[in-house]
Structure 1
Amino acid sequence: MSTTQRSESMNKFFKDYVRSSTMVNDFVHQYEKALDARYFKEKGKDVRTKSTRAVLKTCWTIEEEAAKVYTRKSFKIFQDELFNSQRYKATKVQKEDESKMYEVAPNGKDKRIYYVTLESGEAKAICTCHMFEFLGIVCRHILCVLVKKSKLDMLPYHYVVERWTINAKSRAILEIPVFDGHVMIKEDPIMRKSKLMMQFYDIAELGSQSSFRMNHLSLALEKVHKELLLMEDIGEKNLEGGDMSHNDSPILRSQVISNFSQTIQDPQRVPTKGRPKSLRAKNPKETQSVKKRRCSICKIEGHTKNNCPSLGDIENINDSISQRVDLEEHIT
């Protein structure tokens, strides 16, 4: 039997979207939002699994091989079990034909003992803790026996549950059972998208191996993208009878670019942060009229005597007077 921890965690998750007073029509929309949040979180973890490498804690080859098979979260559980298996000691207590029974006990004050039955022919073991039967990941007691006694470098295939692996969603489910027991092959947008995503993963893996392949793939995707956009404008029914030859590619590009120029517009203007200046309460001193400066020469407001326009005329008059006085002194 499982504990109530899993059900309680799901209750907490759905309480963020629905409550007891939620109407039926609102419940449908909120339930879809909850599922979208789950799918978005799952996609983020898939990207993290495919784009990062796991940090190893031991020098055993079995850990490196498990990192290539399991997802990051599943590998973290397996890695903890493998790392903690070093604290245990396995002692053979019974042997019957090809099966062996080991007594696995920790090195320390804890004297709890587990018994592991190992079938030497298939490297298949059963532990009294039954963690693998409950969780689907092999326990530390079996790993202690497999690594230290059997000297295994790879995890046996029967200990790798498909739902915890990286390729768990790589197989497309195309067969949908109906009520009468027959099988109906249905093609809907979700299945088409799933099939294309599997192809894109393989293509992206090949294209990321070098810069030349990446540029070639980028140009090819750009060309296909433009052709698909043009199909939406022309209509798929008009294109079913004929084929899109390579000679039409310049026409497709020109039409698609013209469509882009008509649809692309300026981005929305984002207001600046803070309170608008028009709504700010002004201080009474700010509303008082400022006394304008008055020129001491021409007595006109708006400038001072240093930049007075009449100052130049006064200087010219003074220069002419000083020249006349110099001339008279020279004559006398």
Structure 2
Amino acid sequence: MSSREWSESTNNFFNGWLPITTGLCNFVTKYEATLLEVYERESAEDFALEHKYRQVGPHQALLKDPGKVYTRTTFHKLQDQFDQVVRFVAIERYVEGNVRQLTVKSHSGHTESFEIEIDSEKLTGNCGCKLFEYVGLSCCHLLKVFSKYDILKIPKAFIMTRWTIGANKFSRSYDESQLEGDNL
């Protein structure tokens, strides 16, 4: 982060609640109070994420597990994608072993059409819209294919860890012996 970016970020953080003429002692007091406020707001959000599950309707079986795994924001984005599934029809074009190639196109008069390749055994695949590759969220086209083949759970390959509830928690993924001597 450049010094200009840091300055802009800092100004945005303090803007609105602290006049420019504030003395250093008053600044430190207000800064600590604001950090405590931010910490409490984030803790409340973390609590809500871990203890309040998203409600899904009986016709949304595919969203049951993501409702327990994803953060609320990500779950709502996935729910928006799921709501668009009804606009599309999935047409199987080619099957070779477990790999299926499909075209998912709009049946509401729009000309949008996307090519999907999915391995029905490994439950991996990709879509031509590349939403999963760019955003990390299953697109409505993939969700349409899942529902076509009665896949009632979003496969693990299509759930990005960074959008899950525990992703912001620090986890130690190293062995302490890696920190000794020459390994530093």
Same fold (TM over 0.5): yes
Letter in 2 for 1:121: E
How much does 1:48 deviate? 1.8
Matched position secondary structure for 2:94 = strand
Matched position secondary structure for 2:117 = strand
How much does 1:136 deviate? 1.2
Q: Given the superposition, is the C-alpha separation of residues 109 and 66 from structure 1 closer, same or farther in structure 2, using an over 3 Å criterion?
A: same
1:131 matched residue in structure 2:
131
How much does 1:181 deviate? 6.5
Looking at structure 1, the residues matched to 35 and 95 of structure 2 have their Cα atoms a distance apart, in angstroms, of 52
Letter in 1 for 2:164: T
Looking at structure 1, the residues matched to 162 and 97 of structure 2 have their Cα atoms a distance apart, in angstroms, of 34
Looking at structure 2, the residues matched to 40 and 84 of structure 1 have their Cα atoms a distance apart, in angstroms, of 36
1:182 matched residue in structure 2:
183
Q: Given the superposition, is the C-alpha separation of residues 95 and 157 from structure 1 closer, same or farther in structure 2, using an over 3 Å criterion?
A: same
Is the counterpart of residue 81 in structure 1 residue 81 in structure 2? yes
**What CA deviation, in whole Å up to 9, does each residue of 1:116-165 have, x standing for no partner?**
111122121200111111111111111100111x2111111111222222
Q: Given the superposition, is the C-alpha separation of residues 109 and 53 from structure 1 closer, same or farther in structure 2, using an over 3 Å criterion?
A: same
**What CA deviation, in whole Å up to 9, does each residue of 1:148-201 have, x standing for no partner?**
1x21111111112222222335563385887x8636xxxxxxxxxxxxxxxxxx
Looking at structure 2, the residues matched to 38 and 125 of structure 1 have their Cα atoms a distance apart, in angstroms, of 40
Q: Given the superposition, is the C-alpha separation of residues 117 and 56 from structure 1 closer, same or farther in structure 2, using an over 3 Å criterion?
A: same
Looking at structure 1, the residues matched to 63 and 118 of structure 2 have their Cα atoms a distance apart, in angstroms, of 20
Letter in 1 for 2:166: N
1:215 matched residue in structure 2:
none
Looking at structure 1, the residues matched to 127 and 31 of structure 2 have their Cα atoms a distance apart, in angstroms, of 41
Q: Given the superposition, is the C-alpha separation of residues 100 and 76 from structure 1 closer, same or farther in structure 2, using an over 3 Å criterion?
A: same
How much does 1:91 deviate? 0.5
Looking at structure 2, the residues matched to 128 and 31 of structure 1 have their Cα atoms a distance apart, in angstroms, of 48
Q: What RMSD, in angstroms, separates the aligned Cα atoms of the two structures?
A: 3.5
2:115 matched residue in structure 1:
115
Letter in 2 for 1:17: F
> Which stretches in structure 2 are left out of the alignment for 5+ residues?
1-7
Contact 1:62–1:155 (CA<8 Å) still a contact in 2? yes
How much does 1:98 deviate? 3.0
Q: How does 1:151-230 map to 2 (within 5 A)?
A: 151-169=150-168, 172-173=171-172, 182=183
Structure whose residues are more often helix by fraction: 1
Q: Given the superposition, is the C-alpha separation of residues 110 and 35 from structure 1 closer, same or farther in structure 2, using an over 3 Å criterion?
A: farther
2:12 matched residue in structure 1:
15
Q: Report 1 or 2 for greater relative contact order, CA contacts < 8 Å, sequence distance ≥ 6.
A: 2
Q: Given the superposition, is the C-alpha separation of residues 63 and 87 from structure 1 closer, same or farther in structure 2, using an over 3 Å criterion?
A: same
Matched position secondary structure for 1:132 = helix
Matched position secondary structure for 2:110 = coil
**What CA deviation, in whole Å up to 9, does each residue of 1:24-69 have, x standing for no partner?**
xx7x969888766654432222122233231224523221121111
Looking at structure 2, the residues matched to 104 and 151 of structure 1 have their Cα atoms a distance apart, in angstroms, of 16
